[in-house]
Amino acid sequence: MDLKLPLTLFSYFFLTFSLFAQTVITGTIKDIVTTDPLPGATVTIDGKPGTAADINGIFTLNVEPGTHQLLFHMIGFKDIKQQVEAKEGEKITLDVNMESEAQSFDIVVVSAGKYEQKIGDVTVSVEVIKPELVENKNTTNMETILDQVPGVNVTDGQANIRGGSGYSYGAGSRVLLLVDDLPQLSGDAGDVKWNFLPCENVEQVEVIKGASSALYGSSALNGVIHFRTRYPRDTPETKFSIYSGFYDNPKRAELIWWKNRNPAFSGANFLHARKCGNLDLVMGGHVFTDDGYRELETEQRARFNMNTRYRFKKVPGLSAGVNLNSMYTQGGLFIVWLDGDTGAYRPSGGEVQNYKNFRFTVDPFVTYFGAKGHKHSLRTRYYRTDNRNDTEQSSEADFWYGEYQYQKQFESKLTITSGYVLNYTVVTSALYLDHYAANMSAYGQFDKKFFDKLNVSFGIRGEYYKLDTASTEFNIVRGENDTITLPFRPVARIGVSFEAAKATWLRASYGQGYRFPSIAEKYIRTSASGLEIYPNDSLQPETGQSAEFGIKQGIKCGKWMAYLDLSAFWMEYHNMMEFSFNQWGNPLVDPFFGLGFRSINVGSTRTRGIDVSLIGQGKIGKIGTNMLLGYTYMDPQSLIFNIAKDSLVNTSKENILKYRYRHIAKADVEISWRKFMFGTSMRFNTFMENIDRFFYDASFLLGGIKEYRERFNSSDWIFDMRFSYQVNKTVRVALVTNNITNHEYSSRPADVQPPRNFTLQVSMKF
């Protein structure tokens, strides 16, 4: 007798009865304040893994009849326990509203592990900038905000963390900029355009200090700056601000180049965010015009950005969208002043480079939250830059990027993240000629929490890079005549964090880094304000490693809470790329007998130091108080220092790397009472001891740089101040004063920074 049919029917009726006998529990998990859904929130049943909420915050559980204990958990929110009586065949609807732990000041970051973590649990140093600081300082360029972060310096547009890099003439970066998890370095120069970042649409800025190539690849050698934009809440929101200001006369009257009126600037920002059914929509814009505090260095720009995300009803957990950002800029710029006496704000030769630039990004993405903690995401980016100028140095660059990522969060508090990255760049340029670059990499990271106290993180990545005919090679020496060559570079990181006591965390981490030269570093050939810059097609990739040991202490005083962080760090680079002055050209044909700058591998370097920061918020009595304080000591040295040789190209006889500070300090304090707000910022750095000796030897050609540095050879203290009044629930008026003491200072040779300037801002929110 054939038993297949009876067995099939028996199985069908048995399964049908079992499913009918089970109870279905379904519902939505939301933020109790914003009513936003909480995708990824986990549901545990009787201490065992249950399910996770999808992109709409919806969860579904099939349970046996009886009494069950449910636990709802989400990073940054307080756990909720609920007992459920399940009857046979019943369907239970259970909507859960979770309360944020913000009142206990639990900052949540994403960048450290590519998933949400409490800042006390991360194994590396992370600084966080909230959108309120960006708005209250009337930020028109994110460079000014990053320069306020403890341990970070931005020198003429180039960011460095803890002295990890100096000044490289706008080519290459050891700090990777991310916008919503996607890299945003230009395809040709590999640099950051800070004015391209939509400061009108910022959710949070996270700064990772230390080598992060294992997670983020090349250019994350010195750290990562992650700019995260926002999505709408359940209630529509519109913001609009207009502002106008002017530059005051510098302290030295001889530097004034304007006649009838002081140079002025003005602009406007807007943002609108709303939900339209299952569609999330955010639109932002920015316009800005600046007469410039430097003669002929004007700027006009317009920017538009939009975020979209559609949440599919028929496929729970699935969402897709497209984000875009575009900007047009025009103006003039120069690199070297006329002189340091009366022409510090005037261009050498009386002329500037006039430019017109257009750039945009288009970012399609798909995300799927599966049952039981599975997450799949595909993120892509197309980044187009078109730079035009009147010096026959125009360039076009197209950058394509794609990343697939899989992530699984287990109820055993293990998170596994893996992914594959592919990007491709094509450059057409009179400045660099025509080139292409390709990059492929695969990565994996494991984060595990033990005993609710100990966090362990381990990540590894394989990186392949190709620039024209040059490509990645990694040699493993097994013996005297036995070497294996791999076509990719492996990098790894490991970190631990331990909660030693309540609100006290100890951490230690080690990470490796790898950076391939940018197209500009390798192939640039140009002349700027009399400075010749030469290509170097034999430039090799640089590698690095960093380690730190730190302690983070939570502080609570009444309703005021803070985190105090202290860390000791160590960074070491090999084959380090830096621009250096020498006779690189043909002495018979090229200007100045072939003397100039080019990027070379300078050898091995080491930077050690300590980093202290404090971030706090809350109320002291009836006064709302926010603080961001930091101090960093750095000792950046060459490991192949030769005083006889190096003194020929450096201005310092000490072993200190060029264009670095030994001490920097940052502070921002803001207090509020009723409708009033007052804030002040401070930035401090010691004298930049070492620069290229060429600036001294050719001082007569470059407007007296040597004499200027001998005159202004002390530390810099720069103070800003802001005051605002909330007129009503919609309108706020603010006055912002930058460089209130009118201090004269430079971030690099021949580049004096702005004098005191005033801004009046009117902002509306409804």
Report the CATH number at residue 403: 2.40.170.20
pLDDT of residue 351: 87
SS (H, E, C) 393-409: CCEEEEEEEEEEEEEEE
Q: Is the pLDDT of residue 136 over 90?
A: yes
Quote the strand ranges of 575-713, DSSP E: 577-583, 595-601, 605-620, 623-638, 663-673, 676-685
Q: Are residues 44 and 174 in the same domain?
A: no
Band (pLDDT 50/70/90 cuts) for residue 14 is very low
Q: Is the pLDDT of residue 360 over 90?
A: yes
**What are the residues whose beta carbons fall under 8 Å from the beta carbon of 451, sequence distance 6 or more?**
none
**Count of domains for the chain:** 2
Angle at 142 between CA 139 and CA 146, to 5 degrees: 110
pLDDT of residue 477: 81
Band (pLDDT 50/70/90 cuts) for residue 16 is very low
d(CA 474, CA 486): 5
Q: Is the pLDDT of residue 614 over 60?
A: yes
SS3 24: strand
Runs of H (alpha helix) within 503-548: 519-523
* Residue 214 in tokens: 């294992």
**What are the residues whose beta carbons fall under 8 Å from the beta carbon of 662, sequence distance 6 or more?**
633, 634, 635, 656, 686, 689
Q: Please, are residues 701 and 691 in contact by the beta-carbon 8 Å criterion?
A: no
pLDDT of residue 12: 45
Domain that holds residue 123: 108-765
d(CA 431, CA 522): 12
26: burial class by Cβ within 10 Å (0-12, 13-18, 19+)?
middle
Q: Please, are residues 233 and 282 in contact by the beta-carbon 8 Å criterion?
A: no
pLDDT of residue 15: 42
Q: Are residues 394 and 485 in the same domain?
A: yes
pLDDT of residue 410: 84
Domain containing 32 — which CATH number? 2.60.40.1120
Measured over the CA atoms of residue 511, residue 514, residue 518 and residue 523, the dihedral's sign is: positive
d(CA 145, CA 298): 21
Question: At which of 76, 100, 124 does a domain end?
Answer: 100
* Residue 305 in tokens: 């950005």
Q: Are residues 130 and 86 in the same domain?
A: no
Q: Are residues 115 and 79 in the same domain?
A: no
d(CA 162, CA 404): 32
Report the C-alpha dihedral over residues 187, 189, 195, 200, rounded to 10 degrees. 30
Q: Are residues 281 and 307 in the same domain?
A: yes
Band (pLDDT 50/70/90 cuts) for residue 685 is very high
Pairing label, strands 435-450, 414-429: antiparallel
Band (pLDDT 50/70/90 cuts) for residue 539 is very high
What integer is the mean pLDDT of 579-593?
A: 86
* Residue 352 in tokens: 């500037």
What integer is the mean pLDDT of 364-372?
A: 88
d(CA 734, CA 724): 4
Q: Name residue 537's beta-bridge partners.
A: none
Band (pLDDT 50/70/90 cuts) for residue 442 is very high
Q: Are residues 68 and 129 in the same domain?
A: no
Question: At which of 71, 100, 129 does a domain end?
Answer: 100
pLDDT of residue 714: 96
Q: Are residues 24 and 128 in the same domain?
A: no
Q: Please, are residues 194 and 146 in contact by the beta-carbon 8 Å criterion?
A: yes
User: What percent of the chain is helix, strand and coil (3-state, nearest 5)?
Assistant: 10, 55, 35
Q: What is the pLDDT of residues 271-309, one digit of tens each?
A: 999 999 999 999 999 999 999 999 999 999 999 999 999
pLDDT of residue 105: 53
Band (pLDDT 50/70/90 cuts) for residue 4 is low
d(CA 212, CA 113): 10
Q: Are residues 31 and 172 in the same domain?
A: no
Quote the strand ranges of 516-557, DSSP E: 526-528, 531-533, 542-557
Mean pLDDT, all residues of the chain: 89
Q: Is the pLDDT of residue 495 over 60?
A: yes
Question: Measured in whole angstroms, how far is the alpha carbon of residue 501 from the centre of its chain?
Answer: 31
pLDDT of residue 649: 87
Q: Please, are residues 301 and 329 in contact by the beta-carbon 8 Å criterion?
A: yes
729: burial class by Cβ within 10 Å (0-12, 13-18, 19+)?
exposed
Band (pLDDT 50/70/90 cuts) for residue 17 is very low
Q: Are residues 501 and 370 in the same domain?
A: yes
Dihedrals phi, psi of 532, to nearest 5 degrees: -90, 135
* Residue 428 in tokens: 């057409």
Q: Please, are residues 211 and 544 in contact by the beta-carbon 8 Å criterion?
A: yes
d(CA 749, CA 747): 7
How much of the chain exceeds pLDDT 70, in percent? 94
What integer is the mean pLDDT of 645-669?
A: 93
pLDDT of residue 10: 45
pLDDT of residue 119: 76
Name the least confident of 244-248, 481-485, 516-520: 481-485
pLDDT of residue 74: 81
Measured over the CA atoms of residue 241, residue 244, residue 247 and residue 248, the dihedral's sign is: negative
Q: Are residues 92 and 115 in the same domain?
A: no
Dihedrals phi, psi of 18, to nearest 5 degrees: -65, -45
Of 182, 179, 191, which is closest to residue 401 (Cα–Cα)? 182
What integer is the mean pLDDT of 418-425?
A: 96
Q: What is the pLDDT of residues 189-219, one digit of tens each?
A: 888 999 999 999 999 999 999 877 777 887 8
Q: What is the DSSP string of 684-697?
A: EE------BTHHHH
What integer is the mean pLDDT of 728-741?
A: 97
Q: Are residues 244 and 388 in the same domain?
A: yes
Question: At which of 78, 100, 122 does a domain end?
Answer: 100
Q: Please, are residues 752 and 345 in contact by the beta-carbon 8 Å criterion?
A: yes
What integer is the mean pLDDT of 610-630?
A: 94
Q: Are residues 355 and 273 in the same domain?
A: yes
Q: What is the pLDDT of residues 382-406, one digit of tens each?
A: 999 999 998 888 899 999 999 999 9
pLDDT of residue 681: 98
